Amino acid sequence: MEKKQDFLRKIVQEDLKSGKYKEVVTRFPPEPNGYLHIGHAKSIAINFGIAKEFGGKCNLRMDDTNPTTEDMEYVKAIEEAVHWLGFDWDGDIKYASNYFDKLYEYAIRLIKMGKAYVDSLSEEEIKEYRGTVTTPGKRSKYANRTIQENLELFERMKNGEFKDGEHVLRAKIDMSSPNMKMRDPLLYRIRHATHYRTGNKWAIYPMYDFAHPLSDYIEGVTHSFCTLEFENNKELYDWILDALNLKEPRPHQYEFARLNMSYTVMSKRKLLELVNKKLVSGWDDPRMPTLAGLKRRGVTPQAILNFCEQIGVAKANSVVDVAQFEFAIRDDLNAKAPRVMCVKEPLEVEIVNFEGSEQLEAPLFPSDIGKAGSRKLSISKTIYIEKEDFSLNPPKGYYRLTPNQPVRLKHAYIIEFVEAIKDENGEVVKIKVKYYPNSKSGQDTSGIKTKSAIQWVDSKTALKAELRIYDRLFQVEMPKGIEDLNPNSLKIVKDALIEPWIVETNVERFQFERIGYFFKEPIDYSKEHPVFNQIVPLKDSWSKKKSKTPQTKQKEQKMHDGRSGELAKLSKEQEAAFQSFLELGLSKQIANIFAREEKLASFFKDALSLYEIGAITIANLVANEVNKAFKEGKEIKTKDIATLAQLIDKEIISSKIAKDVFNLMLKENKDPQSIVKEHNLEQISDPNQIQALIDEVIEKNKTQFEAYKSGNKKLFGFFVGQVLKASGGKANPRLVNELLQKSLN
């Protein structure tokens, strides 16, 4: 299928076409301070993917300029994860720390040009002098040092003659720049620490903003892709290269939205905390969102890459529903994993009229998958079925075995209830049934109707197995950290029974019929003691758990993707449309709505043709706001929706405010830009501006700040409120949250 051109690919394509570069060179630059996670997979897919598609190169570079947190263990894990995803880097692994000498030379060049100086203000003073978004900063008196003085001091810094924090090297740019990053940014700081590669050779370490553009330049990188948080750093990225007279063809930075996923934390710092506090078994715990964890759990690299492609590359941050990831995992395994039988909680069943033993031939895949293969299944007088597949007092709608309802044993015969044997507590411990010899699967002449087929295993050949059933590691949609852990994220079933073929075969991933997809645990599995990780259950149990109220139930019903019942099945054309919407990165709910509603779909496509990279944002507006307005018989212009989506993507307004803008558009019959302007709805999305507000709020609320620090975490909301208030309600709430997390913790 043709790949959709995202905005990064368009840039690369144009740069190659215009001859700006002969070859595209990208890089993936992790800091070796933790294991890679699913968010990094997005970045890997972009950097390595683009290089591959355009016949270029991608470097793997350890961004290791911080001596205190980095480690060789992480370098190894990163290498392994990138290889596992199926990518290979150009030449040897690169290290920013290999460039320390060159970077030092570049710093000296800047000093000699009068573009950098050694500052000796304290950390607090530097912060204070920086000013705020509304007030310009003021330059340190040390900025007047002569070039000679600066050179001497910088060399002495390098030689380790000063303590940490005593001096820093700063670029001399503009203390009143509206971009706070340009207010004489730090280039080097003193750190007396042992670096995992350079040992004690250096007492000074370059800052990210200095090291990154130069590392890119040194490696001949053409396109330096990074996540949106670095938008304001771009000006500095360019300044460094320009100031040093490093001419085209030189690297340029482009930002894309990072992957955020519901029920998941994606910060290495928080993942490290889980590992250090032993809340998980390690970085590769199958519940972790790390690539090592997903690998151990049994997720395939292909599923991860498919997912990355489905979510697409956009320029607006959003949170992807983890259910979409699980969907991609199931979708991939569906065609790969043979169907076999496992009984989690066995109930003994004696088939009173069965003598001896019989071998059955059972296909490994259902016919619609179109894959061949079968295995032998034995059956004898005593078998086991799932305890919950039998009921003496069945509730309404129960389709399995009851005293009045026969059931089919999958791939075998129909059985009918005879007698239940109970223990002293009245609990059923065994049942007796009879079977119909003329009801064999595929050759059934019995004429008996059953409502379902259940899994079973033969007592003569079944093997005991351990199942590790994983659930989401966090129980809230937007987890903050360990306080939101799901206490039931791991359940161990010790005494499951499985059919013997599972152990005999080399196949590693299976669908245990009616339970889920399972993987032979890579470390603890042995033939004597088979252990399986549940990769994903067959159905998403969380969407049900969430729907407590009838309204949400109703909504979900409407949103149902039509793949598992409830709604009418999609026609062939609708299914194709559905797939094409998924490929644009839309959620399956929205893809489903558009596949069914021609009017919305064509509106969406028209708006998209006006603003090609805004698929997800436009889709959300169309599926919600436009949809509602259409139902009320109102007319909407595609142009206005494309513009509105751009305002959201550029973070000029939040998606929440966008709803107000939309309603005002209808009411006043004006375009979104005029509405935003006239009603003064622009949000503040400059992290520096928001940070300044945060600093002010913390300053004004010292008591609350202390209380928060000493454990009163409930005050987080208070601080969010104060910052939003200080901004006149216009600060970007996502950024407020993000930056407050950093400032308070």
C-alpha to C-alpha distance for 325 and 304, rounded to whole angstroms: 8
Per CB under 6 A, 737 contacts ligand ATP:
no
Per CB under 6 A, 315 contacts ligand ATP:
no
Smallest gap from Cβ 66 to Mg ion, in A, equals 9
C-alpha to C-alpha distance for 181 and 642, rounded to whole angstroms: 31
Whether the Cβ atoms of residue 667 and residue 710 lie closer than 8 Å to each other: no
Per CB under 6 A, 410 contacts ligand ATP:
no
Query: Which residue, 206 or 530, has its beta carbon nearer to Mg ion?
Result: 206
Per CB under 6 A, 312 contacts ligand ATP:
no
C-alpha to C-alpha distance for 497 and 386, rounded to whole angstroms: 10
Smallest gap from Cβ 63 to ligand ATP, in A, equals 6
Smallest gap from Cβ 45 to ligand ATP, in A, equals 9
The strand order across the sheet containing 57-62 reads 25-28, 57-62, 94-95
Smallest gap from Cβ 586 to ligand ATP, in A, equals 19
Per CB under 6 A, 39 contacts ligand ATP:
yes
Per CB under 6 A, 293 contacts ligand ATP:
no
C-alpha to C-alpha distance for 611 and 613, rounded to whole angstroms: 6
Query: Which residue, 258 or 730, has its beta carbon nearer to ligand ATP?
Result: 258
Query: Which residue, 338 or 479, has its beta carbon nearer to ligand ATP?
Result: 479
Binding mask 361-400 for ligand ATP (x = CB under 6 A): ----------------------------------------
C-alpha to C-alpha distance for 64 and 76, rounded to whole angstroms: 14
Which partner from the list ligand ATP, Mg ion, none does 330 bind, CB cut-off 5 to 8 Å by kind?
none
Query: Which residue, 42 or 509, has its beta carbon nearer to ligand ATP?
Result: 42
Whether the Cβ atoms of residue 388 and residue 452 lie closer than 8 Å to each other: no
Q: Is residue 635 annotated as a catalytic residue, yes or no?
A: no
Query: Which residue, 96 or 593, has its beta carbon nearer to ligand ATP?
Result: 96
C-alpha to C-alpha distance for 582 and 4, rounded to whole angstroms: 11
Helices (H), 19-71: 38-53
Per CB under 6 A, 304 contacts ligand ATP:
no
DSSP codes, 573-627:
HHHHHHHHHHHTT--HHHHHHHHH-HHHHHHHHHHHHHSTT-HHHHHHHIIIIIH
- Of the residues 115, 250, 258, 270, only one is catalytic, namely 258
Amino acid at 265: V
Neighbours of 57 (CB within 10 A): 20
Per CB under 6 A, 226 contacts ligand ATP:
yes
**Piece of the chain touching ligand ATP by CB under 6 A; list 49-57, 264-272, 445-453, 476-484:** 264-272
Q: Which two tokens stand for residue 681?
A: 């709805």
Per CB under 6 A, 319 contacts ligand ATP:
no
The residue within the footprint of ligand ATP, chosen from 13, 198, 227, 461 (CB under 6 A), is 227
C-alpha to C-alpha distance for 83 and 452, rounded to whole angstroms: 44
Query: Which residue, 21 or 208, has its beta carbon nearer to ligand ATP?
Result: 208
Per CB under 6 A, 43 contacts ligand ATP:
yes
Q: Which two tokens stand for residue 132?
A: 């705020």
- Block residue for tokens 């206490």: 487
Phi, psi for 132 (deg, rounded to 5): -130, 180
Per CB under 6 A, 489 contacts ligand ATP:
no
The residue within the footprint of ligand ATP, chosen from 4, 9, 13, 31 (CB under 6 A), is 31
Whether the Cβ atoms of residue 600 and residue 623 lie closer than 8 Å to each other: yes
Per CB under 6 A, 79 contacts ligand ATP:
no
**Residue sitting closest to Mg ion (CB):** 31
- Radius of gyration for the chain, computed over Cα atoms and rounded to the nearest angstrom: 31
Smallest gap from Cβ 97 to Mg ion, in A, equals 15
Sites for ligand ATP among residues 555-574 (CB under 6 A): none
Query: Which residue, 172 or 252, has its beta carbon nearer to ligand ATP?
Result: 252
Q: Is residue 296 annotated as a catalytic residue, yes or no?
A: no
C-alpha to C-alpha distance for 531 and 503, rounded to whole angstroms: 10
Helix (H) or strand (E) holding 165: none
What's the full length of the chain, in residues? 745
Q: Which two tokens stand for residue 181?
A: 């990053």
Q: Is 744 helix (H, G, I), strand (E, B) or coil?
A: helix
Per CB under 6 A, 258 contacts ligand ATP:
yes
Smallest gap from Cβ 78 to Mg ion, in A, equals 13
Which partner from the list Mg ion, ligand ATP, none does 109 bind, CB cut-off 5 to 8 Å by kind?
none
DSSP codes, 353-406:
T--SEEEEEEESS-GGG----EEEEEEESEEEEEGGGB-SSPPTT--SBBTTB-
Query: Which residue, 29 or 49, has its beta carbon nearer to ligand ATP?
Result: 29
Amino acid at 305: L
The pairing of strands 509-512 and 116-119 is unpaired
Biggest CA-to-CA distance, the chain: 102
Smallest gap from Cβ 281 to ligand ATP, in A, equals 20
- Of the residues 9, 31, 432, 440, only one is catalytic, namely 31
Per CB under 6 A, 585 contacts ligand ATP:
no
Phi, psi for 267 (deg, rounded to 5): -95, 135
Smallest gap from Cβ 677 to ligand ATP, in A, equals 33
C-alpha to C-alpha distance for 576 and 581, rounded to whole angstroms: 9
Per CB under 6 A, 252 contacts ligand ATP:
no
**Piece of the chain touching ligand ATP by CB under 6 A; list 213-221, 262-270, 403-411, 531-539:** 262-270
C-alpha to C-alpha distance for 198 and 515, rounded to whole angstroms: 51
Query: Which residue, 268 or 297, has its beta carbon nearer to ligand ATP?
Result: 268
Which partner from the list ligand ATP, Mg ion, none does 227 bind, CB cut-off 5 to 8 Å by kind?
ligand ATP
Per CB under 6 A, 29 contacts ligand ATP:
yes
Q: Is residue 258 annotated as a catalytic residue, yes or no?
A: yes
Q: Is 312 helix (H, G, I), strand (E, B) or coil?
A: coil
Per CB under 6 A, 40 contacts ligand ATP:
yes
Binding mask 24-43 for Mg ion (x = CB under 5 A): -------x------------
**Piece of the chain touching ligand ATP by CB under 6 A; list 24-32, 234-242, 436-444, 528-536:** 24-32
Which partner from the list Mg ion, ligand ATP, none does 266 bind, CB cut-off 5 to 8 Å by kind?
ligand ATP
Smallest gap from Cβ 30 to ligand ATP, in A, equals 3
386 closest CA partner among 506, 287, 498: 498
Per CB under 6 A, 42 contacts ligand ATP:
yes
Smallest gap from Cβ 39 to ligand ATP, in A, equals 2
Per CB under 6 A, 30 contacts ligand ATP:
yes
- Of the residues 268, 295, 297, 514, only one is catalytic, namely 268
Q: Which two tokens stand for residue 180?
A: 């706070």
Supply the DSSP symbol for 482.
G
Neighbours of 349 (CB within 10 A): 23
Per CB under 6 A, 51 contacts ligand ATP:
no
Sites for ligand ATP among residues 638-677 (CB under 6 A): none
**Residue sitting closest to ligand ATP (CB):** 39
Which partner from the list Mg ion, ligand ATP, none does 43 bind, CB cut-off 5 to 8 Å by kind?
ligand ATP
Amino acid at 499: E
C-alpha to C-alpha distance for 723 and 359, rounded to whole angstroms: 71
Size of the site for ligand ATP (CB under 6 A): 15
Per CB under 6 A, 267 contacts ligand ATP:
yes
Per CB under 6 A, 49 contacts ligand ATP:
no
Whether the Cβ atoms of residue 323 and residue 438 lie closer than 8 Å to each other: no
632 closest CA partner among 657, 656, 595, 662: 662
* Residues that bind ligand ATP in the complex, under the rule CB under 6 A: 29-31, 39-40, 42-43, 63, 226-227, 258-259, 266-268
Task: Enumerate the active-site residues.
Answer: 31, 258, 268
* Residues that bind Mg ion in the complex, under the rule CB under 5 A: 31
